[in-house]
């Protein structure tokens, strides 16, 4: 069975993944020159934080909502769903912390950002496995319901 009914959410995973991979590569390069950049180029650090915060505003918050409200209710493994929802909360809390540190101490913010990236990568892999399993056992009717719910969540956002 195809995973077409999750098209928006899976495309969103791909976008989030490619952004965090790019950030990670940049961060690693940056950390090699740690003393120079950390001490002189606070604006470089802020720039990286802004890339991530933008993707959160534009993509991640809506993505979490789609999963929690449209997809997760249909999963058989509700223990796993509980863990995934907890991770959404942890990530959202860390992002709030990141915003505060962006102003106060961008160097500490980089550590938080690296931590968020690690959690997000694991999280996306777990979900991709779950969604593969779901596409095996969901009925066509259920898949259509999920697709409609996701579309509604994204279109409500467009309208606002
Ligand atoms: Fe998620
Ligand atoms: Fe996800």
* Distance from residue 115's CA to the centre of ligand 1 (Å): 16
Tell me the ligand closest to 119's alpha carbon. 1
Residues with CB under 5 A from ligand 1 (ion): 67
pTM over 0.85: no
CA distance 110 to 13: 22
Sign of the torsion angle spanned by Cα atoms 27, 30, 35, 36: negative
Quote the pLDDT of residue 145.
93
* Distance from residue 11's CA to the centre of ligand 2 (Å): 10
**Tally of domains in the chain:** 1
Quote the pLDDT of residue 32.
56
**Segments forming the whole domain that contains residue 82:** 4-159
CATH number at residue 82: 1.20.120.520
Quote the pLDDT of residue 35.
47
Q: How far is CA 144 from the centre of its chain?
A: 24
* Distance from residue 67's CA to the centre of ligand 1 (Å): 6
What is the DSSP secondary structure assignment for residue 33, as one 8-state letter? Answer: T
CA distance 77 to 86: 15
Mean pLDDT in runs of 10 for the chain (160 residues)? Answer: 71 82 72 56 79 84 91 96 97 92 83 88 92 91 91 83
Which residues contact residue 97 at a Cβ distance below 8 angstroms, ignoring those fewer than 6 apart? Answer: 112
């Amino acid at each position: 069975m195809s995973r077409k009914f999750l098209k928006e959410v899976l495309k969103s995973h791909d976008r989030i993944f490619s952004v965090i991979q790019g950030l990670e590569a940049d961060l690693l390069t940056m950390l090699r020159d740690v003393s120079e950049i950390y001490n002189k180029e606070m604006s470089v650090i802020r720039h990286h934080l802004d890339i991530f915060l933008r993707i959160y505003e534009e993509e991640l918050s809506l993505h979490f909502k789609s999963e929690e409200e449209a997809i997760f209710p249909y999963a058989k493994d509700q223990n796993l769903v509980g863990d995934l929802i907890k991770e959404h909360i942890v990530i959202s809390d860390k992002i709030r912390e990141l915003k505060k540190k962006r102003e106060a101490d961008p160097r500490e913010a980089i550590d938080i950002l690296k931590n968020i990236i690690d959690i997000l990568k694991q999280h996306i892999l777990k979900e991709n496995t779950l969604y593969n399993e779901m596409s095996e056992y969901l009925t066509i009717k259920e898949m259509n319901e999920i697709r409609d719910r996701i579309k509604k969540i994204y279109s409500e956002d467009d309208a606002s």
